[in-house]
Amino acid sequence: MFFRLLWLVQGNQHSGGCSMVFYDSFGIRKQYVWGLALAVILMGVVCAALVYGALRFAPSSHSVTYTNLESEAQFNKTIALTFDDGPDPTYTPRLLALLEKEQVPATFFLIGEHVVSHPETARLIVEKGFEIGNHTFTHSKNVNSTQERIQSELIATDRVIRDATGISPLLFRPPFLEDVDVGEFDGGRIAGDEIRWAEEAGFIVVGANLDTQDWNVASGQTDTILQRLLDRIQPEGPTVIILHDSAGEGASIEALATFIPRMKAEGYRFVSV
């Protein structure tokens, strides 16, 4: 909200200055009217500043109990596919083709450095109608060393994603998610400096509850990833799955080609985060 400040100037009649004192038809000095108007405006500015300060310095949402989706029956048999560490010029287009064929939504968390190297692939994800998120610029283990470090990584990644796609994503997934201090999930409470710093920068932090760990799978080990998916999927509540665009040199893509139709046949539905 923008405020226009009204400046009033009154000359000094005794010193020969120009007087700004006027009277209306009722004989009321208009300087009083303008003074009252200025007081009202200033009071509005002060109130707005107090409200902003209360919101700005209020405890972050990390200290508020989040909704426990696992207790909501409408989320049963719900799957959200998410892919980290892209974009990859070889495997991301193949993955997009599979998702389009199966008419399944997904969210891609992009690394800033990879977006700089492959902006056309990042742009393709958006053009195909898929959701994107921020996954820091360097994907370094030291990214959460300080508030300044993580927020600078988020801002840098946001800029390169915006330059490549025209979109500034609100979603953020920390790298090395299993190492992030997210506190206790009992009751849905989320904590941790990295989470708080990201939220203070305006991002929505996205976790997961099924990690395929496909990053450590070798080429051709499609069955390993597929079995992890089948073993770890839970019908109660929502399932947010972490995968990687280029895992196993396409092994994750091959695993999904079997997993997605099977889950549909069992009554699961696929959604965006």
- Which residues are the active-site residues? 84, 244
Q: Do the Cβ atoms of 157 and 133 come closer than 8 Å?
A: no
User: Residue 261: what residue type?
Assistant: P
Q: Do the Cβ atoms of 20 and 8 come closer than 8 Å?
A: yes
Alpha helices in 119-250 (DSSP H): 119-127, 147-165, 193-200, 222-232
For the record, the structure tokens of 157 come out as: 């990644």
Backbone phi and psi for residue 253, each to the nearest 5 degrees, phi listed first: -65, -45
> What's the residue count for the chain?
273
Instruction: Match 């000094």 to its residue by tokens.
Output: 12
